[in-house]
Structure 1
Amino acid sequence: MIDKGGISLKYVNAIVVFLVLLHMYFGAGDYTDIGCSERERRALVDFKNSLDFESKWLSSWGDEDEKKECCKWQGVKCSNSAGRVVKLDLKAHSLHGKIYPSLMELQYLEYLDLSSNSLHEDQNLKWLSHLSDLQYLDLSSVYLSTANDWLTVVSGLRKLSTLKLSTCHLPPPTLNTSLYLINASPLVTLDLGQNYLYVPTSSILFQWLFKFNTTLVSLDLSSNHFYGLIPSAFGKMMVLRELDLSDNQLQGMIPKSFGNLFSLKALNLSRNYQLNGSLVFLHNFSSCANNSMLESLVLHSNSFSGSLPDFSVFPLLKEIDLHNNKLNGSLTTSIRNLFELETFDVSYNYLEDVISELHLSNLSKLRSLDLSSNSNISLNLGSNWVPPFNLEFLNLRSCKLGPKFPNWLATQNNLSLLDISCNEISDTIPKWFEDSTPNMHYLNLSWNQIHGRLPNLSKKFPSLAVLDMSFNFFEGRLPSFPANLTILNLSKNIISGSILSSCKTITSPSLLMYLDLSNNQLSGVLPDYCVSKWTSLQILNLADNNFSGEIPSSVGSLRQIQTLKLRGNSFFGELPLSLRYCEKLIFMDLGNNKFLGKVPAWIGESLLALRVLIMRSNKFNGSIPSSLCGLTRLCILDLSQNSIFGNIPHCLSKLTSMYLGSSNGTKDVDGFSYIFINRVPNNWVYGSCTYLNTHANSAAVVIKGGVLVIHSSTLPFLRLIDLSGNKLTGKIPGELSSLSGLTSLNLSRNDLSGEIPQNMDEIEELNSLDLSQNRLSGRIPMSMCNFSFLDYLDLSYNNLHGRIPFSRSLSTFSASAFIGNQALCGPPLTENCPIEATSNRTRHGDEFKRWFKVGMGMGFFIGFWGIFGSLCLNRTWRHAYFLFLYKVKDWVLLRLALYIARLQTRFKRNNNH
């Protein structure tokens, strides 16, 4: 029936039905009304139930009627056509537990992301092989240390284009040979970073990845400890745009084939350290094109040498980081053509140049500039020059900016980090400086000659976290400081007054980790109010000021403290018992104060992490507590110039860090010098002038008769015991000789008696030995002739007698090392020894002649019987006996030769005397 309107109702209904069916088939929006498969829904529920605890983010998943439509669950996406789960995105949702293999039921899955959760796999990844449609797989940060089949499994996923397995603790890869021969999947993105696989570049892994040389666009192999040469096969990856081989153990020169990577936009070869050669390989990137596509070039922390490349062939560069290499020559003016440049870092090289406006005038997009710590770079910029850029990061350490503050800095009002330390600036801080950089987080003006009063930075720099103005001529009282300071170094200035008012202005004192006010003229007590609030403090250095009073008991609240330096003040009283709670202390210097009482036994019972303990020049008394022998990590023990009496504990031999070859002493002592290295930009703690920790972790000790300041770079190699200037009695314990790595031993100015231990030469590394001004008696041991590194010796003013032993090592010391011993004789003293020494030489000579004759007789006897046996015995016996005699003869003659050589040496030594 035809309606007068034109179209029959029957046809209208048919069209409606068709449209409904069409909608059901192709779907609308992201989801389908068909509903998810019960099998897949069950698999997802099983996965959820297998987790250690239920994440709130998965609350939409469940068996309840209102939750049965899994295509509407969080993180789940289904296909429009059949209602199959094709995408599962559970990235970073605090999931904990084992990956339940029920996910293998999602056989139509194309996208799987379980990254950034606390998931793990107990055995293998075989379940993944069932997901044959998988195109995107991200398991980054999933713990896969036992998944030995990971490479075989992912190789079997023929449609995979994106694979991300970074920070998975992957085991070294193995690969099924049959899968290796199959055509590779169209892999476009591969991220295996931070797995520390430790395999050579010739391994099966590299052979596998080179199968994707026509498809791979992004490749991240960073932090894997890969070792060996960089394979030239990388040059075949013609479509590669991003390559990251950083933080490995690659070595040698960059292969020429890298010049074929015309599509490369980002190259990172940093922190391989043994990559060397010149940067000529970079020129090849543009050899077959007008200009390179390169945007990011990161080659820092290697051994590249030679001059900088011509940057004009890289007009798209946004980032250049070449710091910490061995590059030399001038800073090419070609950087002025890099109109897109945002980051430029050539610090810690050997560059020499005068930087002018010509270098920098076109860099309008520059945000980070680091020219610090080169051989000889200076800036020659006009006083009225206005830079085209507005920097956020500026490091010009040692760039000779002085003597005035550079006016062009006034235009840089967006700085977050500014380091102009060691620049020969002899000026006051200009007014514009305080108002120009409100976003400052890090400020270093140290090692200049800046004078005047310290500015009040609390309002001008509200975000300031790191402030270093040390080694200048600032004077006056401490001002207010920004509330959120983490690191404050004002050492080596002329600052006076109390610290109480300043520490009250730091409204967040619990953030303070580093405080160095040493070498000033500060006075007053150490305020209990301040100390009790410094709960995060790791380094406190108040040395060489005029502080007085007792140490407040609140010092026990410094539970994170690692370095405590109070040397050179007028602190008095006993050490507070609460200090024993500072169990992380590594370095404690209390020297040159007025502390009194016994050396606390709790130091050796509670402060077991101590490497450096200096308590010299105080008023401590009593005996040395044996508990100090429990400080097995101790490398410096200085209790000198006190009133300590009694015997030297024999148990000092338990200070095992002073043994030769000990691993506790050398590296660990300096390990705490870099506590803050990850809290501020990469380079700020290094430099040719000073850095924050060099001064804080130095130690003033007596070596070779004089006071030396040992800085943190040298401190790891020093092992010292100084008990001088006390009232110690008894003998020198022979057990001290077991401290084979000891470099300095000072027991002078005590009341020690007895003989010098015969085995002192077992202290193989001894460089300085002072036993002067005691009551030692007997002869100087002959074993002291065996010292290899002894550079300072003082045995003066004792009761030693006899001839001074002669050796190459002892002959270098003057008479002052031996004077005051009335019965000592022989060079270098002027007193001649009695005739008794000559008879000794005769006796030793007779002994040598006697043994020489014995040796000749034995040789003749053995030779004679060898001939006799060959003549008198039958053939079989003759051969056996002849062979036996030769063996006996060789052994006897060898022993005799060694003994005779020893006698000869002794005979010559005594004749020389």
Structure 2
Amino acid sequence: MCNPLLSSPYYVRVAAILLVFLFVNSPICPAGFTCQDNERQALFQFKIGLKDPGNRLSSWDVTTDCCLWKGVSCDNRTGHVIGLDLHNDHNEHQHRYQEQSVSDDRWALGGELSPCLLAIEHLTTLDLSGNYFGNMLIPHFLGSFKQLATLRLSRAGFGGRIPHQLGNLLSLHQLDLSNNGHSLLLDDCWWLSNLTSLQHLDLSFVNFGIAANWLEALNALHSILEIRLSQCGLLNGIPSSFQHLNLTSLVTLDLSDNYSNSTLPTWLFDLKSLQNLFLRGNYFYGSIPASIGNMSSLTVLELSDRFSLRGSIPGALGNLCKLQQLDLTWSPLRQNLSDMKEIFSGCVKNSLTKLSLRGASLSGYLPEWIGDFQNLKILDLSMNSLSGKLPSSLGRLLSLQQLSLYGNELNGDVPETIGWLSELVILKLGLNSFKGGLSENFFANLTKLKNLGLSSTSLALNVRPDWKPLFRLEYINMSSCILGPQFPSWIKTQESLSSLHMYDVNISDSIPDWFWNFSSSLEFIDLSHNGIRGMLPDLSELSDSKLTYVDLSCNLLEGTVPQFPRSISYLFLSNNSFSGLIPPGIHKTMPKLQYLFLSKNNLSGSIPLFPCNLEELIALDLSDNHLSGELPDCWKGSSNLQDLDFSQNEISGQIPISISHLTSLEHLILRGNRLSGGLPSSLDSCRAMVLLDLSYNQLSGEITWMDRSFSNLKFLNLRANMFSGNLPPLSQLNSLRILDLSRNNFSGNIPKSYGNLRAMSYSLNHVPSETASYSHVAMNLEIKGLYIQFSNVLNLVAAIDLSKNHLLGPIPEELTDLYGLRFLNLSGNNLTGHIPDKINLLKVLEALDLSSNNLSGAIPPSFGQLNFLSYMNLSYNNLSGRIPISGQLSTFDSTIYVGNQGLCGIPLHECQDKVSIKDEAHLTSPEIWLHLSAELVMFMLLL
């Protein structure tokens, strides 16, 4: 029953007074719709100019109240639009629409930014970050928003010059123009000095071009708290000194990756309020000054560099009681870690949560005091020269989440105390010399472990076959450990695993059926260099698989070539015993293939046409099989193919003309087949070609066109074919480092222009940096009488082999201009004339073969200056005179001079003084003998 007091006139009057009070003090809402009509119209016009492929602004069409539109915010009192947040968070959209296979671009707004937006005069926030506006200029009209406090245009695809009109935004607190891909240009910084209300500035990846006054301009921003200028290409680098610094409120400064190449700036250590300092990648030289101890507010110091900073860490750093993160990665400190106790015994010992000295040229052993960092969460001492055993004190780092010690010279057993680190998420001990094994007890407390790296340690995993570890790993690298011979069944419990590296782990078992779908996250598998046997199942029906990389090479697998899920991009099955035909429909079952390696198997039959239909294919290796028939003649100009290796098969026919459509082709290897016909001149369309190996075929005809193309060609091998005519003109091939035209029918003289092969004039220590490593391709050369395969060091080889042709004339003296030449073979021709006297200019020459020619004259004494010469053959020529005995020539035996009747001296017979027949007849005359007898009598009388 209701209380009668509540209905009395007194309470009615009180309620009325309260209603009036609430009405007077409530926000006054404008009549009609919440948002202003002119602002709604302006937003409609703005939307018309935009491209919205993901239909993110669909709510703008549902209601006329623009304050309810997605990304629009209004003032509660006035109804004016004050915020426009249209940033693109792809991760958010990906989660919400997981059933759709969306790409980054789908959700990115684009198009034009209409100046009708100026009608929204009360705008305080504009965020267009994460979209893509196609390198569009930042509109000048954005500088007209008088009340704008936040402007974010990061990762939005803007380009061109940043308009100076942005300097009119006097109310701006935050400006973020970062990560627009260096296409955004800042040509002057003075307009920044007008933004006196600015607190947060991020211009990372903005190209500062000729803007040399950046520090002076920023020094005018008295309220600035955060400055980020990472990878800006700061003109003249970062100033080493600066007077009258006003940045007294600065909390965060990021000047990383500007490649300053100067001394460490002294003005940085006057920033007493600075908490976060990022200076990585600036090639600072000199040492870290002791004045760093004055930065008492510092919590994060990232000074990671590479091969420039010198000297030890100053002891004053140990007094930074608030320092939480210290990163000196790749700073060549060249200190003994044991000697750094004094530094890390200060209060910094209690504050540090991250210590990274990776690649800092540290030596010595890991001391016991390393366990005193009670709050340490990340310890990275990898890639140094630390030796000795691991201290048991590591087990005291109970807060540790990451322990990285890989790439040192540590040895002994892994202490059981590391297993006490129950917070550990990342454990990397690989590339050391540990011995012994790890038991189940070692891992019992490591329940949070996600990343386990033990590769190249020879450690054994001593666990039961039915072991079920409590951790759930996402990354495993145990390559070159001892896990076999059985396939480790505990892997089945790792349902979150995405990357598995277990090559060379002594597995001689078959792969169990459960392996291929035990984890829905699995993307990377490397089980190569084991003894895995058996056949693989058809995996093409694993529709939900994320598998992109599989390496099963160098095993004992057999059967037909297996099919993998549609997601696969990298498939390496070389060095097995697969047999039968190559499936012709690979382009349908595995359409995303980029790398397919099936070399050194027992495959037969013809090559299917699938390579021509794999649009993403980059590298295909079918070498060392029993493939026959002709090469595919279906290549398209749209192909991305870069590497093609069909060598060591039984392929016949001619080189198809359509290969010339492969304009991205860099490596074409057809060595050791039965190809015939000529070398098609249409190949000059393959201007990206770096390596061309057609050796050991039956190709014929003349080559006259190669000089006008192949400007990128570095390695050319046409050995053991039937090419004829003059040697091909090659003088314009300025990148050529290996030339093998041996065992053909070439005739005529060696062109003097071969001395212009510029890349062969580089010495071993001055090979151009663009000459990359070629670990996935190889070339076979006859060097020092042996057949040698070069792969990883292919870029360091400079060689010419013109042997066993029908070449005439002298050795061009111009060849001695190839100062970087390491191997030269001109044997088995009909060369005449003398050996060039300037042969000593080939200072790095290691092997020289001039045998079986018609060379004459003396061996030049300059041979003695060839200090690297370890192989030489001058046999079967017409050389004469005394053999020089200086330098390397004194180390060779007589076999290299066989067949030169006129040579004498060590190591052949002693040289005898000879006279001509005419002189010999003159000596036998009576008059001469009488004269000599008279002189002899006089000589005896004098005695």
TM-score normalized with structure 1 length: 0.76
**1:159 corresponds to:** 223
Structure 1 residues 205 and 708: alpha-carbon distance in aligned structure 2, compared to 1, 3 A threshold: farther
Does 2:233 align with 1:169?
yes
- 8 Å contact kept, 1:265–1:296: no
> Residues 526 and 16 from structure 1, CA distance in 2 versus in 1: closer, same or farther, beyond 3 angstroms?
same
Residue 635 (structure 1) shift: 1.1
Relative to structure 1, is the Cα distance of residues 753 and 513 closer, same or farther in structure 2, using a 3 angstrom cutoff? same
Structure 2 counterparts to residues 507-526 of structure 1, below 5 A: 507-508=591-592, 509-526=614-631
Counterpart position of 2:731: 629
> Partners in 1 of 2:869 and 2:15 — Cα distance?
116
Q: Is the 8 A contact 2:124 2:150 kept in 1?
A: no
Task: Give, in angstroms, the shift of residue 653 of structure 1.
Answer: 0.3
Asked if 1:568 is matched to 2:672, the reply is yes
Secondary structure at the counterpart of residue 787 of structure 2: strand
Is 1:782 matched up with 2:861?
yes
CA distance in 2, matches of 1:11, 1:363: 63
Give the letter aligned to residue 758 of structure 2: T
- CA 1:780–1:140: 2 relative to 1, 3 Å: closer
User: 1:179 aligned to 244, 255, 269, which one?
Assistant: 244
- Cα pair 1:492 1:520 within 8 Å, conserved: no
- What does the per-residue CA deviation read over 1:789-813, in whole Å, with 9 as the maximum and x for residues that have no partner? 2211111112223333333422322
CA contact (8 A) 1:301 1:324 kept: yes
CA contact (8 A) 1:351 1:377 kept: yes
**Structure 2 residue corresponding to 1:609, chosen from 688, 705, 712:** 712
Which of 475, 494, 514 aligns to 1:393? It is 475
Could you say what secondary structure the match of 1:127 adopts? helix
Superposition deviation, residue 58 in structure 1: 7.5
Q: Does 1:734 align with 2:796?
A: no
Provide the C-alpha distance between the structure 2 equivalents of 1:85 and 1:796, rounded to a whole number of angstroms: 87
2:123–2:147 CA contact under 8 A, matched in 1: no
Deviation at 1:107, TM superposition (A): 2.6
- Inter-partner Cα distance in structure 2 for 1:602 and 1:276: 59
C-alpha contact (below 8 Å) 1:734/1:757 kept by paired residues: yes
Q: Given residue 90 of structure 1, which amino acid in structure 2 is its aligned partner?
A: L
Of residues 875, 879, 882, the one that matches 1:803 is 882
Relative to 1, partners in 2 of residues 1:621 and 1:498: Cα closer, same or farther, differing over 3 Å?
A: farther
Structure 1 residue identity aligned to 2:285:
Y
1:534 deviates by 8.9
- Provide the secondary structure at the position in 2 that maps to 1:780: coil
The answer (yes or no) to whether the contact 1:465–1:487 under 8 Å persists in 2 is yes
CA contact (8 A) 1:764 1:787 kept: yes
* Residue of structure 2 equivalent to 1:89: 152
- Equivalent residue, structure 1, for 2:824: 745
Distance change >3 Å, CA 703–CA 662, structure 1 → 2: closer
Contact 1:641 1:726 in 2 (8 A): yes
Secondary structure of the 1:526 match is: coil
Distance 1:665 1:286 in 2: 46
* Whole-angstrom CA distance in 2 between matches of 1:583 and 1:161: 52
User: CA contact under 8 A between 1:363 and 1:388: conserved in structure 2?
Assistant: yes
Q: Distance in 2 between matches of 1:186 and 1:650?
A: 70
1:702 to partner: Cα distance: 0.9
CA contact (8 A) 2:737 2:760 kept: yes
Please give the residue correspondences for 1:413-432 in structure 2 after superposition, counting only pairs within 5 Å: 413-432=495-514
Residue 742 of structure 2: aligned partner: 640
* Correspondence 1:487 to 2:579: no
In structure 2, the partner of 1:142 is: 206
Once the two structures are overlaid, the 10-residue window that deviates more, 556-565 or 12-21, is: 12-21
**Equivalent in the alignment of 2:175:** 112
Comparing 401-410 with 115-124, greater Cα deviation is found at 115-124
For the residues of structure 1 that align with 2:324 and 2:523, how far apart are their CA atoms? Answer: 31
Of residues 839, 851, 860 in structure 2, which corresponds to 1:760? 839
Does structure 1 retain, via aligned residues, the 8 Å contact 2:242–2:267?
no
1:301, 1:323 within 8 Å by CA — same for their partners in 2? yes
Pairwise CA distance, 1:723: 0.7
Q: Contact (CA 8 Å) 1:416, 1:441: kept in 2 or not?
A: yes
Shift of 1:415: 2.7
**Structure that is richer in helix per residue:** 1
Aligned 1:702-721 pairs, distance under 5 A: 702-713=782-793, 715-721=794-800
CA distance in 2, matches of 1:251, 1:385: 49
What residue in structure 1 maps to residue 632 of structure 2? 527
Spell out the pairing of 1:528-547 with structure 2 (5 A cutoff). Answer: 528=633, 532=636, 535-547=639-651
Aligned pairs (5 A) from 1:442-453: 442-453=524-535
Q: What's the offset of the Cα at 1:612?
A: 1.1
Give the distance between the partners of 1:511 and 1:497, measured in 2 at CA.
25
**Whole-angstrom distance in 1 between the partners of 2:382 and 2:223:** 37
Q: Closer, same or farther in 2 for the Cα pair 1:241/1:388, shift >3 Å?
A: farther
- Residue identity over aligned pairs, in percent, reads 36
**Residues in 1 aligned to 2:525 and 2:19: alpha-carbon distance in whole angstroms:** 78
Amino acid at match of 2:244: L
For residue 102 of structure 1, report the CA deviation from its aligned partner. 3.0
Q: Flag structure 2 segments of 5+ consecutive residues without an equivalent.
A: 1-8, 32-66, 68-72, 85-108, 130-144, 352-371, 593-613, 917-943
1:637-684 deviations in whole A, cap 9, x for unaligned? 111112222211111000111114388746444x153xxxxxxxxxxx
Report matched runs for 1:323-722 at 5 Å.
323-374=406-457, 376-453=458-535, 456-459=538-541, 462-499=545-582, 501=584, 503-504=586-587, 505-508=589-592, 509-528=614-633, 532=636, 535-598=639-702, 600-626=703-729, 628-661=730-763, 665=767, 667-669=769-771, 671-673=772-774, 693=775, 696-713=776-793, 715-722=794-801
CA shift at 1:238, angstroms?
Answer: 5.5
Alignment CA distance shift 1:811-1:726 (3 Å): same
- By how many angstroms is 1:721 displaced? 0.5
Gaps of 5+ in 1: 42-54, 77-81, 674-692, 838-913
1:748 to 1:292, Cα distance in 2 relative to 1, 3 A:
same
2:550–2:570 Cα contact (<8 Å) kept: yes
Whether 1:190 aligns to 2:253 is yes
3-state DSSP of counterpart to 1:809: helix
Contact kept, 8 Å, 1:36 with 1:71, in 2: the verdict is no
1:223 maps onto 2:284 in alignment: no
State the one-letter code of the partner of 1:441: E
The alpha-carbon deviation at position 729 of structure 1 amounts to 1.7
* Aligned 8 A contact 2:146 2:171 in 1: no
Deviates more, 1:573-582 or 1:723-732: 573-582
Matched residues in 2 for 1:660 and 1:87: separation? 55
Q: CA RMSD in A?
A: 3.9
Cα separation, 2, equivalents of 1:578 and 1:321 = 53
Q: Residues of 2 paired with 1:155 and 1:337: CA distance?
A: 50
User: Matches of 1:239 and 1:450 in 2, distance apart?
Assistant: 57
Matched, 1:31 2:75: yes
Q: Is the 8 A contact 1:268 1:298 kept in 2?
A: no
2:490 aligned counterpart, secondary structure: helix
Question: Residue type matched to 1:623 in 2?
Answer: N
Look up the match of 2:357: none
Partner amino acid for 1:129?
A: S
What is the Cα deviation at residue 245 of structure 1? 2.5
- 1:587-633 superposed Cα distances (whole Å, 9 cap, x missing partner): 222222232222x333332211111111112222222112x121111
Cα distance, 1:818 vs. partner? 0.9
Structure number with greater CO (CA < 8 Å, separation at least 6) is 1
Check if 1:199 corresponds to 2:302: no
Distance change in 2, residues 1:74/1:259 (3 Å): closer
Task: Name the structure 2 match of 1:318.
Answer: 401
| One-letter amino acid of the counterpart of residue 282, structure 2 | N
